[in-house]
Amino acid sequence: MKSFITGGAGFIGSHVADRLLASGFDVVIYDNFSTGKERFLENALSSSHCTLVWGDTRDVSHLTSAMKGADIIFHFAANADVRLGTQHPRKDLEQNTIATFNVLEAMRTHDIQKIVFSSTGSIYGEPDVFPTPENAPFPIQTSLYGASKSACEGMIAAYCEGFNVQAYIFRFVSILGERYSHGHVFDFYKKLQANPHKLEVLGSGHQKKSYLYVQDCIDAMLLALKKSKNKVNIYNLGTNKYCEVNQSIQWICKHLNVSPKLMYTGGERGWIGDSPFIFLDTRAIESLGWTPKRSIQEGVIRTVSYLQATPWLMESRS
């Protein structure tokens, strides 16, 4: 099997590349390195079964020629940052929605029939049902990121119907772990490095979030690929627990042995589109025999330990 991973140099995509190579796949990594890192690929590129292509999913003709010969597409390239959506509204549309259309069109050109897509719990906006199931009432979008990913899901499902594609759509909560390079743990660690005596927290700190360790996330995707055979397979991926942002801050500070004064910016949400409560119903993926091996706290601590051991990453994102 030849797999083609868009965003394969990113946090999650590079781990997926490692796991696919270890399972005997040939892997093509396609990335524009906007946030991806070549150093995440040291292991993958040491394999003769891995090829790296520098390219941009917005360039449909380059993407189409690079995809030739692939059997399955893992489409992970995206603007993965929810927070700054309103500062550049076109970015989510171009990097996420139009780029996904390009991926689907490139697949159609080569008659490639399987796609794995990294969607998000953000597509549920601010739901009324907790834990939120995959078939929650049609969600009202609260972020441009969620809206762009929801549009991607719709297009992928339509290509399944129209062009005989089979899709695996995974709605992730926030993912944690090694190579993590954006999100709340990264932000807090960066701020505490600059000043361990003071920590600005966006919102009230009472936002409730669910997190999942990256290898547990990949275990779930690979299991669903093996066991789930519908035309459109949609799974929430998260743990059956959540924590308050304040709890996560306590774990991080204890691990770093710092006691900063916490300065809250206030309000229920940290930014426009920040959902005050994300907690997904994971019974569907669990019914396939999956269960996460790491708790949220372990995921947070492993992430901080990784960031401590990887100063080059902090410098590259400063």
Ligand X SMILES: NC(=O)c1ccc[n+]([C@@H]2O[C@H](COP(=O)([O-])OP(=O)(O)OC[C@H]3O[C@@H](n4cnc5c(N)ncnc54)[C@H](O)[C@@H]3O)[C@@H](O)[C@H]2O)c1
Catalytic annotation, residues: 145
For residue 140, give the amino acid letter: I
CB of 195 to ligand X, least distance (A): 25
Does residue 95 interact with ligand X by CB under 6 A? Answer: yes
Does residue 77 interact with ligand X by CB under 6 A? Answer: yes
CB of 185 to ligand X, least distance (A): 10
Q: Which stretch binds ligand X (CB under 6 A): 73-81, 195-203, 274-282, 308-316?
A: 73-81
Q: Which is nearer to ligand X, 11 or 251 (CB)?
A: 11
Does residue 175 interact with ligand X by CB under 6 A? Answer: yes
d(CA 147, CA 7): 20
Strand 208-209 relative to strand 243-244, pairing: antiparallel
Does residue 118 interact with ligand X by CB under 6 A? Answer: yes
Q: Which is nearer to ligand X, 9 or 165 (CB)?
A: 9
What is the DSSP code (8-state) at residue 277? B
Give the DSSP letter string of 38-71: GGGGHHHHTSTTEEEEE--TT-HHHHHHHHTT-S
The conformational region for residue 36 under phi > 0 = left, psi -120 to 50 = alpha, else beta, is beta
Return the residues of window 30-69 that contact ligand X according to CB under 6 A. Answer: 31-36, 56-58
Interhelix angle 144-163/99-110, nearest 10 degrees: 20
Q: Which is nearer to ligand X, 4 or 11 (CB)?
A: 11
Q: Which stretch binds ligand X (CB under 6 A): 4-12, 17-25, 240-248, 261-269?
A: 4-12
Q: How much of the chain is in helix, strand and coil states, percent to nearest 5?
A: 45, 20, 35
Footprint of ligand X (CB under 6 A):
6-7, 9-13, 31-36, 56-58, 76-78, 80, 95, 99, 118, 120, 172, 174-175, 181, 183
